Amino acid sequence: MTDHRIALIPGDGIGAEVLPPAVAVLDRVGARHGVTFRYDEFDWSCTRYLAEGAMMPADGLDRIRHHDAILLGAVGWPGVPDHVSLWGLLIPIRRQFRQYVNLRPIRVFEGVPTPVLGAVPGMDFVVVRENVEGEYSEVGGRFNRGFPDEMAVQEAIFTRPGVTRILDYAFDLAATRRGHVTSATKSNGIVHTMPFWDELVVEAGARHPNVEWRQEHIDALVAKVVLDPSRFDVIVGSNLFGDILSDLAAAVAGSIGIAPAGNIDPSGEFPSMFEPVHGSAPDIAGQGVANPLGAIWSASMMLDHLGHPEAGAEVLAAVTAVLANSPVRTRDLGGTASTDEFTTAVLDTLPPPRT
């Protein structure tokens, strides 16, 4: 019997609706594989912020740093500025726990029509997003507030170690897949950081002679993701480019409700955090219609990360089978199922417990 201690942070809006399905799936598949989960739930959210003035307690990170992994729903709610809620919770976890890899796989599921191309056979790639530096930075400032010369300055930080380690991660990942990396930059317009990134890609390519790679400008690249998504294997990009690419890719595959993310500290020193790519979706929150697939797939990634890849694969296989063999799907995928109905279909499709 393996026992894992998981920190659960449901957060706001549909975050709290998609996390219970992920937990139900984990418990069911865990029982089959001799894995038990002990959960500690934290109410860190915009609701907490409005009541207590902080997204999480001052010692919040200490309370979760010894868990085996973190499962998060989504954070952010109207009434609390997004930069306050996200920099008060999600981003400190990513940074202080050195989760410098944001792993965002995407694929098209049989039976799910995609909005652009109908069916996209073979679309199956991973966005490797740099997760702790880049355009997301606190360096800069607001000046001359309220005056005609008002301005805002926002610095982007790209360090040799920071870029090198995410590139190496992407190349190593590609070596276990179809052996191809696409690096997204904008070196024709952003003249310091992006050419630097391109140079480091050349170095990473030389360290990984078994992996083919290509540099593409982000503007042309996004068009290809829409029009010819099956050509990609691993796409590596900066914090901002990786963020945008991952929602785009998920929408191309059917809905942003399906996409998972792993915020990984590859050293294992800190817990890694698994969460759907999507946000709290205030427009559909409270209706019980959110697609839990992104959260369930994130739980499957967590199983892989914790050393239970067979269990993770069973989860993905169950989701795939529900979509391929039944009409059960949520509204965002053109169906009528509720969050609970889709979850029940996945639970019923998982292999039965071993006796």
Enumerate binding residues for Mn ion (CB under 5 A): 243
Q: Does 277 bind ligand IPM (CB under 6 A)?
A: yes
Q: Does 262 bind ligand NAD (CB under 6 A)?
A: no
Among 14, 167, 173, 345, binds ligand NAD (CB under 6 A): 14
Q: Does 280 bind ligand NAD (CB under 6 A)?
A: yes
CB atoms under 10 Å from CB of 285, counted, come to 18
Residues 75-94 that bind ligand NAD (CB under 6 A): 75-76, 82, 86, 90
Q: Does 74 bind ligand NAD (CB under 6 A)?
A: yes
Toward ligand NAD, which CB reaches closer, 182 or 300? 300
Integer Cα distance of 59 and 56 in angstroms: 8
- What is the per-residue burial (b if ≥16 Cβ within 10 Å, else e) of 63-102? ebeebbbbbbbbbbbeebeeeebbebbbbebbbebbbbbb
Residues 143-182 that bind ligand NAD (CB under 6 A): none
**Nearest approach, Cβ of residue 83 and ligand NAD (Å):** 9
Integer Cα distance of 17 and 340 in angstroms: 9
How many residues are recorded in the chain? Answer: 355
Q: Token match 């998060």: residue?
A: 72
Integer Cα distance of 266 and 277 in angstroms: 20
Residues 171-230 that bind ligand IPM (CB under 6 A): none
Residues 66-125 that bind ligand IPM (CB under 6 A): 76, 86, 90
Residues 41-70 that bind ligand NAD (CB under 6 A): none
Q: Does 243 bind ligand IPM (CB under 6 A)?
A: yes
**Nearest approach, Cβ of residue 268 and ligand IPM (Å):** 22
Interacting residues of 43 by C-beta distance below 8 A, sequence separation 6+: 10
Interacting residues of 186 by C-beta distance below 8 A, sequence separation 6+: 194, 217, 218, 219, 241
Residues at the interface with ligand IPM (CB under 6 A): 76, 86, 90, 243, 277, 279
